[in-house]
A and B are shown apart, each in its own frame.
Chain A
Amino acid sequence: MDEVLVFELTILVLAIFLGIEVISKVPTMLHTPLMSGTNAIHGIVLVGAILVAGRADADTLTTVVGFCAVVLGTANVVGGFVVTDRMLEMFKGRAPRKSE
């Protein structure tokens, strides 16, 4: 058990450093899409929500709570990616516009 915990902590710390590295290269211009994009990414909690809601031994409380978690998680994922796509779609360079 301890071994697993240490392994998971290692992943966590490396991911934080990687995150800082990657995010610091994002220009200010794209900070709003960055925020909504990372917002969509933490929608990954949907995976956890499905695991909880889908437990074979689920009693009523687990099912109800899991159900709500899946609703919230899905709204987070779908809404986050759709709204980010809507924003990024609008960013156009000068060149394609001249050909209009």
Chain B
Amino acid sequence: MSKTTTDLLYLVTIVTFILALRFLSSPRRARQGNLLGAAGMALAIAVTLAQDGLGNYGWIALAMAIGAAIGIAGARSVKMTAMPQMVALFNGVGGGAVALIALAEFHNLTPLPGDLAAEESIAILLSALIGSISFSGSLIAFAKLQELLSGRPIVYPGQQFVNGAVLLCALVLGALIVAGAEGDLLVVALIATALVFGVLFVLPIGGADMPVVISLLNAFTGLAASAAGFLLHNNVLIVAGALVGASGTLLTLLMGRAMNRSIGNVLFGAFGAVQAGGGSAAAEDGRSVRATTAQDLAIMLAYARKVVFVPGYGLAVAQAQHTVRALAELLEHKGIDVLYGIHPVAGRMPGHMNVLLAEADVPYDQLKEMDEINLELPQTDVVVILGANDVVNPAARSDTGSPIYGMPIIDVDRAGTVVVVKRSLSPGFAGIDNPLFYDPKTSMLFADAKQALEDVSAALKAL
């Protein structure tokens, strides 16, 4: 196949990728979009395999078979709650692939001394550097989310200095390559240094901030793919990489805004390392909470006109998505309006909670984003909070001393009655006290979310 034909067919792939992202603007057509993107990818792969002068088909076929087996096995078996880890893992392997491409290209281009143009060596440097950071960083993010490593930030004195020194090493190696130094070992050393930096960079970031890291590393892999596109003079790599880079960057910024924290604070602030342990004492300063029972909650719900559920990751941990959907259906049969209010950082990555509820067959038009649900809450009779904590903490609005002050929250305290289903009064992931629990209109139902919802459903049926 000639270069022109190849490039034209690559253009078709580019169009399918753009449409795939375009179709994601509504859940109705999103799936078709993804299939279209997959078809475009298949086309690009077929076109590449049909290129003139390509050899080694046996090895390529074997490698693709192994890769496909790994990909399908992983993608099929992963639980929806473990989705963030899976995304991190697939992201990492993509970054690893780019770093290896850079190594092989350097090896193939350097036997001709002085022939390496500046843009080629810069492209090699960027692919190797960014790809490797993405690879090792993603693996650490995976290990943290999978709880193979502690989710707490791992910090030590002088950490920023060490990280800076390692990154500087990598950049010096890169500068040597650009300056024309040769030898495969140079790229190997660059990749090794970048891998170490990826590990060191992610270790001090807490488990709760992993989604931001994954999204950032996703952008990294995209940019690395673009750099590889410059290296191989391949437009489809450049465009696809740029699309991913833009998407990852945008999501990273959105998440930072949803938590009211700068990206610098997320990456270098070691959030969650310091406040641990301070939370329990705050609950004992004379304020009282009102406890309620499943029976009472059932009666409250039965006489409401509009009910809003605010789920958090705790709901998914308790595997209670299906139970809450069953309860919601019971309420709807009684003619009660049911909505779900979902904070942008509920769950462990943006939009994760929506996926978990969709898995339980909750129709997506009942899932409301924070701004929408905040308009509904003043007319809502009962809000039930399931495993969420910081995202409904009114201290974010009023207490300038709170670590989450300024974070946009779901204003549950504007509804008629608030019921918090929670195992105990312990503070949430970030260890921050929640004044909502002591609000006179709040009742606490101390129980496991799943058990509590089952009891409420049973009581409701018996009414």
Q: What is the CA–CA distance of A79 and B35 in the complex, to the nearest angstrom? A: 13
B222 at the interface (CB under 8 A from A): yes
Q: Which of A71-94 contact B (CB under 8 A)?
A: 71-94
Known: A37-B34, A71-B66, A78-B67. A27 touches B349 (CB 8 A): no
Please state if A23 and B218 are interface contacts (CB–CB under 8 Å). Answer: no
Please state if B31 and A79 are interface contacts (CB–CB under 8 Å). Answer: no
Q: Which of A8-40 contact B (CB under 8 A)?
A: 8, 11-12, 15-20, 22-40
Contact with B18, one of A8, A18, A36, A39 (Cβ below 8 angstroms) = A18
Pick from B25, B56, B98 the residue with the most CB of A within 10 Å.
Answer: B56
B91 at the interface (CB under 8 A from A): yes
Known: A79-B71, A88-B30. A28 touches B48 (CB 8 A): no
> 1/0 per position for B49-84, CB-CB distance to A under 8 A?
101011111011011101110111011101010010
Q: What is the CA–CA distance of A25 and B45 in the complex, to the nearest angstrom? A: 29
For the complex formed, measure the closest distance between the CB of A64 and the CB atoms of chain B, giving whole angstroms: 9
Q: What is the CA–CA distance of A28 and B76 in the complex, to the nearest angstrom? A: 24
Q: What is the CA–CA distance of A62 and B75 in the complex, to the nearest angstrom? A: 29
Number of interface residues of A (CB under 8 A): 83
List of A residues within 8 angstroms of B237 by Cβ? 44-45, 47-48
Contact with A46, one of B25, B26, B37, B97 (Cβ below 8 angstroms) = B97
For the complex formed, measure the closest distance between the CB of B226 and the CB atoms of chain A, giving whole angstroms: 6
Q: What is the CA–CA distance of A12 and B194 in the complex, to the nearest angstrom? A: 24
Q: What is the CA–CA distance of A25 and B361 in the complex, to the nearest angstrom? A: 24
Please state if A81 and B235 are interface contacts (CB–CB under 8 Å). Answer: no
Number of interface residues of B (CB under 8 A): 116
List of A residues within 8 angstroms of B70 by Cβ? 71, 74-75, 79
Please state if B234 and A39 are interface contacts (CB–CB under 8 Å). Answer: no
Known: A48-B232, A51-B232, A91-B27. A76 touches B352 (CB 8 A): no
Please state if A27 and B25 are interface contacts (CB–CB under 8 Å). Answer: yes
List of A residues within 8 angstroms of B63 by Cβ? 53, 66-68, 70-71, 74
List of A residues within 8 angstroms of B18 by Cβ? 18, 22
B28 at the interface (CB under 8 A from A): yes
Seen from chain A, the residues whose Cβ lies within 8 Å of a Cβ on chain B are 1, 4-5, 8, 11-12, 15-20, 22-58, 61-63, 65-94, 97
Listed by A's residue number, 24 A-B pairs whose Cβ atoms lie within 8 Å are A16-B246, A19-B21, A23-B251, A26-B21, A30-B354, A32-B354, A38-B243, A38-B248, A39-B244, A41-B37, A44-B237, A48-B225, A48-B228, A49-B97, A55-B108, A57-B108, A70-B67, A77-B67, A78-B72, A82-B76, A83-B75, A85-B35, A86-B75, A94-B363
Q: Which 6 A-B pairs have the closest CB atoms?
A: A74-B67, A19-B246, A31-B351, A78-B71, A79-B71, A15-B242
Using A20-B246, A52-B101 as known contacts, list a sample of 19 further A-B pairs with CB atoms less than 8 Å apart, ordered by residue number in A.
A18-B246, A19-B242, A26-B25, A27-B369, A33-B24, A35-B214, A44-B41, A47-B45, A48-B98, A51-B48, A51-B54, A70-B59, A70-B63, A76-B93, A77-B71, A82-B71, A90-B355, A90-B358, A91-B354
Seen from chain B, the residues whose Cβ lies within 8 Å of a Cβ on chain A are 13, 17-18, 20-22, 24-28, 30-31, 33-35, 37-38, 41, 44-45, 48-49, 51, 53-57, 59-60, 62-64, 66-68, 70-72, 74-76, 78, 80, 83, 86-87, 89-91, 93-94, 96-98, 100-101, 103-105, 107-108, 117, 119, 184, 214-215, 218, 221-222, 224-226, 228-248, 250-251, 254, 342, 344, 347, 349-352, 354-355, 358-359, 361, 363-367, 369
